[in-house]
Amino acid sequence: MPFAIHYLLGIGDMANSSNLLPSGLPRIESLEMRGIVKRFPGVLASDHVNFDVKAGEIHALLGENGAGKSTLMKILYGLYQPDEGEVFLNGERIVIHSPTDSIKYGIGMIHQHFMLVDNMTVAENVALGLPSSREPRLDLDVVSARIRKLAEKYGLQVNPNSVISKLAVGERQRVEIVKALYRGAALLVLDEPTAVLTPQEVDDLFVIFRQMAADGHALIFISHKLGEILALTDRVTVLRDGRAMGTRPTAGATKQDLASMMVGRDVLLERHRPPAERGPVRLKLDNVNAINEDGVPILKHVSFDVHSGEIVGVAGVSGNGQRPLARGIAGLHEVTNGRIYLENDDITDLSPAQMFKIGLSYIPEERMHDGVVKDFSVAENLILQDYVRRPFSNGIFLAFKYIAEHAKKLITAFRVKTPSRDTPAKNLSGGNIQKLILARELARQPRILIAAQPTRGVDIGATEYIHNQLLKQRAEGLATLLISEDLDEVKALSDRIVVLFGGEVMGIVNSDEVTIEELGLMMAGEKRAELA
Amino acid sequence: MNSNRLFSRRLFNALLPFLAVLAAFAVGAVILLLQGVNPLEAYQAMIVGAFGSKNGLADTLVKSIPLMLVGLGIAIAFRGGVINIGAEGQMIVGALLTTFVGVQLGEQFPGMLGIGIGLIAGMVMGGIWGAIPGFLKAQLGVNEILSTIMMNQIAIQIGYYLLRGVMIDPAEVAAGTNIPHSARLPKVIDMPRFTDMAQWLGFDQSAKDLGLQGYLGEVYGVLVEPSRLHSGFIFAVVMAVLVYIFLWRTTIGYRIRAVGLNPHASRYAGMNVKRTMVLSMTLSGAFAGLAGAVEILGLHHRMFEPTAVSAGYGFSGIVAALFGKLHPLGIIPSSILFGGLLVGGDKMQRAMQIPQVLIVAVLGLVVLFVVSTDYFVRKRSTRRVSVDSDEKPTDTTPTEPNPAEAQA
């Protein structure tokens, strides 16, 4: 792998001439994928797709889940072989057999989920798998020095000696970028890099991406967040059902254009939230406190209430108490002090099972991890809380006939796309798994719903559907606590917004009277608001 | 074309265990060749020895009984997300309590009632022996692999202690030989042999009387003529069906599988994960204890050297369970196959004058190949899944199973 080796030996790191990148590597002037076809049993995942990217350009790849974005990029990265079609690098045909090949050609990939060893330092993570310059001993000092140089050239703030587990999500993302650059990436595939970042971190990241493009890197940006694509990219290619629907310059495009191209029909991006018809208080938190395993307070004197027929949003930067709040109400995290009431009953010390029994529904934020049993069928997943209760069982034997009918009813009612009710949940797309969880939680006819990140990583069509379901339940009198890091979502759906910072309530504001900027300041702990 | 490929891949996965056995035999053949033994003859001796004659078949089925019961327990534990390597010890303590209870009760409860009491005693004792590591794991996070292995040693030594002490056969003491084994259990609580049952049902003619020839005669012989084969076999098969119903049709089985597959989601759904883990270990131990009880009541009728009673079934049972894909109904044939390997190995040794260690080596190869193909399949599947989730765990086409996962 000529590039990487030169790079490691530091040979290429001399000049910053016009065809070299700041990392000292040659640019990838153009990369072109022509007529790519990839078939899977029963599915045409990629149907004669043409796609190209040039040095200095950020090219967006837009499409719903299952549209074929990942398939195309896996082909580019050598994880899949195309059934038909060719790849050209700087006009020459290349064949990419494996990720080793793609790295050799200067193609790097930043995955949506970080590929970092948590208890190692940045330098150790970057050096992982690369030959040392003085085998068999490690050369972490050399690696660290190079990381510092790279970080400086690209304006990335990264300390090579930090341990990954101590870093914030945004910092980990930068480590991934450094890692790709260190390995000699001239073309970077960014697979939904913003999925786990806060608005501020996204802005920082975009500055870095723009700088990289300006320096001559070619960037492929995969996303289904229309705002980000419009803000960042130069051109956009829309995929739908494995086919390229067209490539166009981003300038001049609107969200509505792109959404329609992506979904194949007109999508409503705005949510219609009629005035609330607030009923009595359903859920009430009174001075709730909680600590983490190390005894550090993570919820401090949290008090608010949620009325029937109301959606209360919880806004905050990730890790400011949203998770313990949701888990505390559900009985999954111990509340050290304070009381929680459902209508007039004290529910503070109830177990999760008891909470579910008296009418709590909870959509956990980590849906694959905490929301479904991946190897269970759709039907089995739909009875995860209620399998012991009639009519799903008589307490001993499961009532398969009823369970099947129940599944059939919910699959239709909530438009869960699945080959059958016996399909394992892991074979469903993210949006459909979320619909499955939503179906399960709403069909239980809850008195309170906690929805944590209900649309994170979910495509536009499913998001629209989930939002409408939440609003429909609101109209029917459900009390919903909506926890989300997507401020647009919180603002669009919530009647009132509780802002959390460091486990404290910074304010409770009426959603229609607050601006995103004000929310941002409260989320950063710089402003308190009068309680609404 | 694609569905064909999918089909052949599934077929391949289904056949994989048998390929593993064949591969083990192939490697074993090399070892046999190096010893100057004709492997074909040796394997022929093995297969004919295990399945070819009345006595071979009976022995094979006798050995399949403890394998099946232990295997069922292993399947429950693995399905529940805990690993039980302690079936040896659980068998031993089960056999000890069954013997103790049987000797103490004497002829008070003859027949089914007495047998039932003996079986329950073994089951309870094995269950307790499994519950301890389960409890340690749930409450203190003690690794159950280590604790179950340690519990094996404790069970063995307790066995020797009791057999040299309170449980020793008074006849041995009287004779002054002091061989550490218990008194024989009263005959009235022997589990009936197949030949006894056949007599009750009115089959009292031998194969020769009926003029049955060849293999049919041998099979008839197994079922009707006197042999060591006892009703424990029927009991074990019935248990396998009951475990299947338990795991897939009942709420507790649903909970055990849910916790085994995803403890986090189970907890979020309000299940008591720790209690379920203890339950899985307890049931797992109970089935191993039951295997010990059945060995005593059906075969040995007295307790002797603990490791000779458990006879490695606690470990072979794990392999039988894995070979049966951790499915109760799959464990029935896989136990018979492994019972056959144990018996056939014995026969091969005698027929070919092969040293015992070589037989052990060949059996070890079978175990190694079977277990590693299982891990190979599982690893491949998780690797495929993780490659997918690297990029986008959710980016699969909704109308069709993800090809990568379908392959796994």
B353 and chain A: CB distance < 8 Å anywhere?
no
What residues of A are in contact with residue B255 (Cβ under 8 Å)? 387
Q: Do B232 and B93 share a structural domain?
A: yes
Does residue B232 sit in the same domain as residue B144? Answer: yes
pLDDT in tens, B182-239: 999 999 999 999 999 998 998 878 877 888 888 888 888 888 888 999 999 999 999 9
Distance from the B90 Cα atom to the nearest Cα atom in chain A, whole angstroms? 27
Residue B153's domain comprises 65-193+228-328
User: Treating both helix axes as pointing N-terminal to C-terminal, what angle do B87-105 and B144-164 enclose, rounded to 10 degrees?
Assistant: 30
My answer on whether A385 and A313 are in the same domain is no
Domain membership flag for residue B350? no
Above 50 in pLDDT, residue A4? no
A99 and A11 belong to one structural domain: yes
The answer to whether A73 faces chain B, any CB pair under 8 Å, is: yes
Dig out the tokens for B336 from the structure: 């018979």
- Both B99 and B247 in a single domain? yes
Q: What is the mean pLDDT of residues A20-43?
A: 85
How far off is chain B from A65, nearest CA to CA, in Å? 5
Verify that A386 and A513 share a domain, yes or no.
Answer: no
Best to test chain B binding among A64, A80, A426 (most B CBs inside 10 Å): A426
Q: Within this chain, do residues A187 and A98 fall inside the same structural domain, yes or no?
A: yes
Find, in chain A, the residue whose alpha carbon is nearest to that of B389: A113
Question: With pLDDT > 90 as the criterion, what percentage of chain A qualifies?
Answer: 49
The predicted structure's pLDDT at residue A18: 58
How far lies A255's CA from each of A229, A517, B179, in Å? 9, 22, 88
Task: Specify which residues A46 forms β-bridges with.
Answer: A38
**Containing structural domain, residue A242:** 2-263
Q: Measured between CB atoms, does A399 come within 8 Å of chain B?
A: no
At A235, phi and psi to the nearest 5? -130, 160
Give the total number of structural domains in chain B: 2
The answer to whether A429 and A65 have CB atoms below 8 angstroms apart is yes
**pLDDT tens by residue, A93-113:** 999 999 888 888 999 988 877
CB contact under 8 A, B391 and A396: no
Q: Is the pLDDT of residue A6 over 70?
A: no
Length of chain A: 532
Q: Please tell me the predicted confidence (pLDDT) of residue A196.
A: 64
Q: What percent of chain B has pLDDT over 70?
A: 90
pLDDT in tens, A414-450: 988 888 899 999 888 788 899 999 999 999 999 999 9
For residue A268, being part of any structural domain is answered with no
The verdict on B295 and B360 lying in the same domain is no
Together in a domain, A441 and A514: no
Give the type of residue at A61.
L
- Supply the pLDDT for residue A198: 67
Chains A, B: CB pairs < 8 Å: 149
Chain-chain contact of A368 with B393 (C-beta, under 8 angstroms): yes
Do B264 and B170 belong to one domain? yes
Assembly ipTM: 0.81
Question: In the numeric block, which tokens belong to residue B288?
Answer: 């191993």
- Both B177 and B324 in one domain: the answer is yes
pLDDT of A330-352, one tens digit each? 999 999 999 999 998 999 999 99
Average pLDDT over every residue of B165-169:
91
Interchain proximity B251–A40, CB inside 8 Å? no
Burial of B4 (0-12, 13-18, 19+ CB in 10 A): exposed
B164 burial level (CB within 10 Å; 0-12, 13-18, 19+): middle
Residue of B nearest to A399 (CA): B249
Residue A13 in this model has a pLDDT that exceeds 50: no
Q: Do residues A203 and A334 share a domain? A: no
A64-101 residue pLDDT tens? 777 888 889 999 999 899 999 999 999 999 999 998 88
In chain A, which residue's Cα lies nearest the Cα of B272? A353
**Residue A233 is part of a domain; what is its CATH number?**
3.40.50.300
Identify the pLDDT of residue B284: 98
Average pLDDT of span A266-290: 87
Alpha carbon dihedral A354, A355, A356, A362, in 10-degree steps, equals -150
Give the pLDDT of residue B387. Answer: 34
Going by C-beta distance under 8 Å and a sequence separation of 6 or more, which residues neighbour residue B214?
A: none
- For position A378, what pLDDT does the model report? 95
User: Do A429 and A455 form a contact (C-beta atoms < 8 A)?
Assistant: no
For residues A455 and A430, membership in a common domain is answered with no
The mean per-residue pLDDT over the stretch A43-62 comes to: 91
CA B303 to centroid of chain Cα atoms? 20
Is there a domain that residue B81 lies in? yes
User: What are the backbone angles phi and psi of residue A120, rounded to the nearest 5°?
Assistant: -110, 165
Residue with tokens 């979020």: B268
DSSP A139: -
The count of domains in chain A is 3
Q: Is residue B349 part of a domain?
A: no
Q: Can you read off the two tokens belonging to residue B216?
A: 């049919």
Is B393 part of a structural domain of the chain? Answer: yes
Phi-psi region of B311 (alpha: psi -120 to 50; beta: other; left: phi over 0): left
pLDDT at B397 over 50: no
Of B283, B308, B328, which marks where a domain is finished? B328
Measured between CB atoms, does B381 come within 8 Å of chain A? no
What pLDDT was estimated at residue A1?
A: 41
The residue among B150, B170, B26, B161 whose CA lies nearest residue B84 is B150
Q: Indicate the pairing of strand A504-510 with strand A84-89.
A: unpaired
Per-residue pLDDT of B97-142, as tens digits, reads: 999 999 999 889 988 999 999 999 999 999 999 999 999 999 999 9
CB contact under 8 A, B394 and A431: yes
Instruction: Specify whether A236 is located in the same domain as A285.
Output: no
B14 against B149, higher pLDDT: B149
Check residue A316 and give its pLDDT: 85
Tokens of B268: 């979020």
Model-wide pTM > 0.90: no
Q: Which of residues 243-262 of B touch A (CB under 8 A)?
A: 249-252, 254-255, 257-258, 261-262
In a domain, B297, yes or no: yes
Are B317 and B71 in contact, with CB atoms under 8 Å apart? yes
Q: Which of B262, B272, B327, B383 to mutate to test the interface with A (most CBs of A within 10 A)?
A: B262
Cβ atoms of residues B126 and B288 within 8 Å:
yes
Mean pLDDT for chain A?
A: 87
Burial track A201-237 (b if 16+ CB lie within 10 A, e otherwise): bbebbbebbeebbebbbbbbbbbbbbebbbebbbbbb
Helix B356-391 crosses helix B2-34 at what angle (to 10 degrees)?
150
Q: A305 with A420, same domain?
A: no
Contacts of A113 (CB under 8 A, 6+ apart): B389, B390, B393
Region A204-223: mean pLDDT is 90
* Domain end call among B285, B310, B328: B328
Indicate the residue type of B184: R
| pLDDT for B305 | 93
Looking at the fold, whether A251 and A114 belong to one and the same domain comes out as yes
Residue B216 covered by a domain: no
B333-373: pLDDT as tens digits: 999 998 998 898 888 888 888 877 777 787 788 778 877 87
Residues A355 and A488 in one domain: yes
Q: Domain end: A214, A233, A263, which one?
A: A263
pLDDT in tens, B235-272: 999 999 999 999 999 999 999 999 999 999 999 999 99
Same domain, B392 and B305: no
**Chain B touched by A370 (CB under 8 Å):** yes
User: Quick one: A42 and A155 in the same domain?
Assistant: yes
Per-residue pLDDT reduced to its tens digit, B276-300: 999 999 999 999 999 999 999 999 9
Across the interface, whether the CB atoms of A418 and B398 are under 8 A apart is answered yes
The overall average pLDDT reported for chain B is: 86
> Would you state the pLDDT for residue B237?
98
User: Residue B291 falls within a domain, yes or no?
Assistant: yes
Quick: pLDDT tens for A119-163. Answer: 999 999 998 878 888 878 888 889 999 999 888 888 788 899 999
Cα→Cα distances A14→A10, A24, A212, B220, B260, Å: 8, 7, 19, 88, 56
